[in-house]
Structure 1
Amino acid sequence: MSVIEVKHVTKDYGHGRGIFDVSFEIMEGEVFGFLGPNGAGKTTTIRHLMGFSKAQEGELYINGKNCWSSAAIIKQDVGYLPGELAFPKNMTGDQFIAFMAQERQITDMTRTEALKELFELDTSEAIKEMSLGTKRKLAVVTAFMHNPKILILDEPTSGLDPVMQERFIQFVLNEKAEGKTILLSSHIFSEVDATCDRIAIIKDGVIVSTIEASQLKQNSNKAFKIEFASFEDYQKFLTKTAFVIPIERPEQNQVKLNITDEKIQQLFIELSKVKVNFISEIKFTLEDYFMDFYDRKKTVADGKENLQHGIY
Structure 2
Amino acid sequence: MEQSVIEILNLTKDYGDGRGIFNTNLIVKQGEVFGFLGPNGAGKSTTIRNLMGFIRPDGGSCKIMGMDCYLEADKIQERLGYLAGEISFIDGLTGKQMLDFIADMKGIKDKSKMHELMQHFELNSSGKIKKMSKGMKQKVAIICAFMGEPDVIILDEPTSGLDPLMQNKFIDLILEEKKKGKTIFISSHIFEEIERTCDRTAIIRKGRLVAIEDMKSLNKRKKKSYIITFQSIEQANQFLREGFDIIDQKDKQITVAIQGDINPFIHSLAHYEIKNLDIKIETIEEIFMHFYGEENQAGGDQHDRKGTV
TM-score by length of 1: 0.88
8 Å Cα contact 2:223/2:281 also seen in 1: no
Aligned to 1:305: none
CA deviation map 1:190-213 (0-9, x unaligned): 111111111111222222111111
CA distance in 2, matches of 1:118, 1:266: 49
- More deviation in 103-112 or 47-56? 103-112
Deviations 1:133-160 (A, max 9, x none): 1111111111212110111111100011
Aligned AA (2:250) = P
- The 2-side partners of 1:228 and 1:292 are apart by 32
Separation (CA, whole Å) in 1 of partners of 2:294 and 2:257: 17
Instruction: State how far apart, in whole Å, the 1-side matches of 2:294 and 2:148 are.
Output: 44
For the aligned residues, what is the CA RMSD?
A: 1.9
Runs of 4+ in 1 over 4 A off after TM superposition: none
Q: Which residue is 1:149 aligned to?
A: 151
SS across alignment from 1:33: strand
SS in 2 for 1:261: coil
**Sequence identity percentage:** 44
Q: Which residue of 2 aligns with 1:218?
A: 220
Tell whether the 8 Å contact from 1:49 to 1:60 is kept in structure 2 after alignment: yes
Alignment of 1:32-111 (within 5 A): 32-111=34-113
Q: Which amino acid aligns with 1:260?
A: Q
2:250 paired with 1:250: yes
Say if 2:38 and 2:292, in contact at 8 Å, map to a contact too: no
Which structure has more relative contact order (CA 8 Å, sep 6+)? It is 2
Of residues 282, 287, 290, the one that matches 1:289 is 287
Structure 2 counterparts to residues 1-312 of structure 1, below 5 A = 1-219=3-221, 221-238=223-240, 240-246=241-247, 248-251=248-251, 253-262=252-261, 264-294=262-292
Inter-partner Cα distance in structure 2 for 1:85 and 1:223: 41
Gaps of 5+ in 2: 296-309
Query: Residue by residue, what CA displacement relative to the aligned partner does 1:184-242 show, whole Å, maximum 9, x if unpaired?
Result: 1101011111111111112222221111111122227443222222111111122x222
CA distance in 2, matches of 1:31, 1:113: 24
Deviation at 1:52, TM superposition (A): 0.8
Q: Closer, same or farther in 2 for the Cα pair 1:85/1:296, shift >3 Å?
A: closer
Secondary structure of the corresponding residue to residue 53 of structure 1: coil
Do the aligned partners of residues 220 and 147 (structure 1) sit closer, same or farther apart at CA in structure 2, a change above 3 Å counting? closer
- State the aligned residue count: 293
Moved more, 64-73 or 99-108: 99-108
The letter of the residue matching 1:120 is E
Whole-Å separation in 1 of the counterparts to 2:173 and 2:53: 26
* Deviation (angstroms), 1:89: 4.3
Query: C-alpha distance in 2, partners of 1:283/1:221?
Result: 6
- Report the 3-state secondary structure (helix = DSSP H, G, I; strand = E; otherwise coil) of the residue aligned with 2:10: strand
Aligned counterparts of 1:50 and 1:100: Cα–Cα separation in 2: 17
Q: Letter of the aligned partner of 2:85 in structure 1?
A: G
Q: Secondary structure at the match of 2:254?
A: strand
When normalised by structure 2's length, the TM-score is 0.89
Contact 1:48–1:54 (8 Å) recurs in 2: yes
Letter in 2 for 1:286: I
Q: Is the 8 A contact 2:32 2:183 kept in 1?
A: yes
- C-alpha contact (below 8 Å) 2:96/2:126 kept by paired residues: yes
